[in-house]
Amino acid sequence: MCLHFHFEERERGFRERERKRACVFGVFRERKYSREERGQTMGDSSADSVSIDIETMSFAGKEHIVKTGRGSVSVAVVGDQDKPALITYPDLALNYMSCFQGLFYCQEASSMLFHNFCIYHISPPGHELGAVAMSPDEPVLYADDLVDQIVDVLDYFGLGSVMCMGVTAGAYILTLFAMKYSKRVMGLILISPICKAPSWTEWLCNKVMSNVLYFCGMCSLVKELLLIRYFSKGVRGSAEVPESDVVQACRRLLGERQSPNVLRFLEAMDERPDITEGLRKLKCRSLIIVGENSPFHSEAFHMTSKLDRRFSALVEVQACGSIVTEEQPDAMLIPMEYFLMGYGFYKPSQFNASPRSPLSPTSISPELFSPESMGLKLKPIKTKISLEI
């Protein structure tokens, strides 16, 4: 059963927020670090991490390069490290600045998350801010290798059980992580996730991207294919309607990615195994949020059908692509709030019943929530933003 609720948002306010988010993208300045600079202390066996100062907004935190058994990985730590940990993992060709900024730019979502968690943004190898091209001699890391990197990261920071948030490819990696290391996962927040091997359509698209990346680098064709993967047609624009500021900002940041590094992550995801059979064994609570126009929409529903219904919930966001965290982050606020309440996490009191919230709990039928093993379990919800342009 899918239930609907609607909320209105003034056009001017929506565009102002989008402009500000794009400005945040614009003011961020990446610096290209040589591998010698990034690894200058790695030659010292006593140094497992290198701290990098980044000129950016305060929510970017401090970036660490952590040595793992599968190579070095970048982790940006934001918040009080005495609090429970929430780790994030982005989609293909993205990092935390281009995949999760929209969500953390929302004042209420940011306040709720930082009130309860310290955030550890993990980037796929070579996707970190200011990364240089990886050497062809470095081995390609596949899904299991990336999962093992996460374990080493948790051990490095002394973390036990963590909350996980991933988008599409990142959601796959974190789901596999939860299967292999169930005691290290408190819960999963998965945005437009995937769990099966690539479909023929995805396989063909990936092959085109792989070849073009190899011969031409991060050219306009690759950017277009990635933007189709990320965003709905409505924000990508058309001949009559210009693409949104957020899409333009994402396009610019894609141009700064190193094509050999993106190609490596693409190859890893192209070779991913089907993990459907292991979903039923997952005992951690899972919140799945999927955009209605995501290319992986049907796979998210397939994944939900295989998860134990006692521990899982699905939210479908209308008129939205895969990266709900960027395109419609407001739609995630209330589902996340109720999901986290099952763990005893709450938003700060000053935000309770805030009139700024686009979704008020009082506007949602109490029948949508039942006190089961999740604490408060969500049933499938569709959201819809009504904007008069």
Q: State if pTM tops 0.85.
A: no
Between CA 101 and CA 78 the distance in angstroms is 13
Query: What percent of the chain lies above the pLDDT cut of 90?
Result: 68
The domains located in the chain, with CATH, are 3-42+49-386 (3.40.50.1820)
Between CA 196 and CA 342 the distance in angstroms is 28
pLDDT tens-digit readout, 65-87: 999 999 999 999 999 999 999 99
264 in helix, strand or coil? helix
Between CA 103 and CA 279 the distance in angstroms is 27
For the chain, the C-alpha Rg in angstroms (whole number) is: 20
Token pair 């994030």 in the structure block, residue? 88
Burial class (CB in 10 A: 0-12, 13-18, 19+), 106: buried
Q: What is the mean pLDDT of residues 368-386?
A: 43
Take residue 157 and report the two structure tokens written for it.
């920071």
| Helices (H) then strands (E): counts for the chain | 16, 13
CB count within 10 Å of CB 238 equals 9
Q: What is the DSSP letter of 48?
A: -
Between CA 18 and CA 269 the distance in angstroms is 31
First to last CA, the chain: 31
Between CA 375 and CA 311 the distance in angstroms is 10
Between CA 94 and CA 164 the distance in angstroms is 17
Between CA 167 and CA 90 the distance in angstroms is 5
pLDDT tens-digit readout, 190-200: 999 999 999 99
Instruction: Label residue 342 by pLDDT band (50, 70, 90).
Output: very high
pLDDT tens-digit readout, 28-53: 434 444 444 444 433 343 344 433 33
342 vs 356, higher pLDDT: 342
Distance of CA 364 to the CA centre of its chain: 26
